[in-house]
Structure formats: C-alpha cells, structure tokens
Chains A and B, each alone.
Chain A
Amino acid sequence: MVDLTSANPLVMTHFELIAAVTATCVLLIAVATDLWHAYRSRSRRLD
C-alpha cells in the first residue's frame, strides 16, 4: 500500500524526463534513418 501521508509530485518530472529523452532519441533515429535513405537513393541516381 502506498503511503498517502506525504505528497511527492516531483516524481512526475522523472516520468517526464524518461518520456522526453526516449521520444527525442527515437525521433532523432527516425530523422537520421530517413536522411540516410534519401542520401543513398540520391547517390544511386547520380551513379
């Protein structure tokens, strides 16, 4: 059972941090993958 006598709403920021870091990393990987595919297909066309 959770102790309801002490409010600790700052733990919410831990979840925020985890969510923000995870989402940013996944977004960066997706952008990098798309850029890489675009670069590859462009260089193939030029060859």
Chain B
Amino acid sequence: MQYVEKYLLLFARVYLGAFNLASGINFFFHVWPQPIPADPLGAAYMDVTLKLGLFQFAKVLELVGGFCLVADAWVPFGLVLLFPVTVTIFIMNVFFSPMVHVVISGARNFAFHCLLFGGYFGYYRGMLSAAATPRPLWRTLTKGGRHG
C-alpha cells in the first residue's frame, strides 16, 4: 500500500511539474503558439492579464513551481506557488471552456494538486495553528532565536 502511495504521489508530482514547466518554457521561448481560451470570456481575461503583466507573472510562477516539482526540490513551496495558477486554470477550463480535453486537463491538474497537498500535508500542519503568535523572520534567523 505504501508503494502505491509513493508511486501515485511521484506520478502526480512529476506530471503537474512537467506540465507547468512546459507551459512556462513555451511562453518565454515560443516553442509552440501560446494556447488561447476558445471562449470569449477566457480570451478577454487572458488579454487583460497580459496587459496588466499578471499573465507573465503567472508564467514565472509556473516555471519556478514546475521546476521545484520536477526536480523534487522545495516541493511544498512549489505547490504553494503554483496553487493560484492551478485554481485559475481550473475555473477557466472546467466552467467556461467548450472543449472536453481542456475541461479534463484543468480538472485533472486541480485533482493532482489537491492530492499532492494531501501527500505533503505534514509540511503545512504548522500553518493551521489557530492561535499563532508572531515568529519574526529576523528573530528566527539569529542563533538561538528558535523559541515558542
């Protein structure tokens, strides 16, 4: 059973990472034409985000997050970086795209992302502290500053 879990998480991690990395590389190096949403609302959204620079920023997140996942380095951080992108694509693809393969792609990436969050949950447990007191960066970095 542990092997199934290990292989499932490995497959989901590399799949999600490679997908985002390929998408990020494609945007900056123009390997193929940039995919454009087939629905008018999606195309308008893409146009606005491109003009605001948010689309380009999302592609940087895809590059960095995708690399983390493929390289198996800083995976919990990579998952957090990629989550806004995955949620946006999930909403655009699943609820607005008229194309079945695009709907499946958005839904599958979101499912893989949730699975990976579950698989790496131990790293996020600290974030769920109900009564969190400040633990400033500048104090945790100093020697012996790790308390409370």
Residues of A within 8 A of B (CB): 1-4, 6-16, 18-20, 22-24, 26-27, 30-31, 34
List, in ascending order, chain A residues with CB within 8 A of B26's CB: 11, 14-15
**Which of B43-51, B74-82, B113-121 is near enough to bind chain A?**
B43-51
Is A12 a contact partner of B14 (Cβ separation < 8 A)?
no
List, in ascending order, chain A residues with CB within 8 A of B23's CB: 15
Is B101 a contact partner of A8 (Cβ separation < 8 A)?
no
Is B15 a contact partner of A23 (Cβ separation < 8 A)?
yes
Known: A4-B43, A34-B3. A15 touches B34 (CB 8 A): no
Is B22 a contact partner of A14 (Cβ separation < 8 A)?
yes
List, in ascending order, chain B residues with CB within 8 A of A12's CB: 35, 101-102, 105
A9 to B46, CA, bound (A): 13
The prevalent SS among residues of B at the interface is: helix
Count of inter-chain pairs, beta carbons less than 8 A: 83
Known: A4-B43, A12-B102, A31-B7. A18 touches B19 (CB 8 A): yes
Is A19 a contact partner of B22 (Cβ separation < 8 A)?
yes
Q: Does B99 contact A (CB under 8 A)?
A: yes
Please count how many residues in chain B sit with their CB below 8 Å of the partner chain's CB atoms: 31
A3 to B7, CA, bound (A): 40
Instruction: Return A37 CB to nearest CB of chain B, in Å.
Output: 12
List, in ascending order, chain A residues with CB within 8 A of B14's CB: 19, 22-23, 26-27
A30 to B35, CA, bound (A): 32
List, in ascending order, chain B residues with CB within 8 A of A14's CB: 22, 26, 32
List, in ascending order, chain B residues with CB within 8 A of A7's CB: 36-38, 43
List, in ascending order, chain B residues with CB within 8 A of A15's CB: 19, 22-23, 26, 35
Q: Does B61 contact A (CB under 8 A)?
A: no
Instruction: Return A14 CB to nearest CB of chain B, in Å.
Output: 6
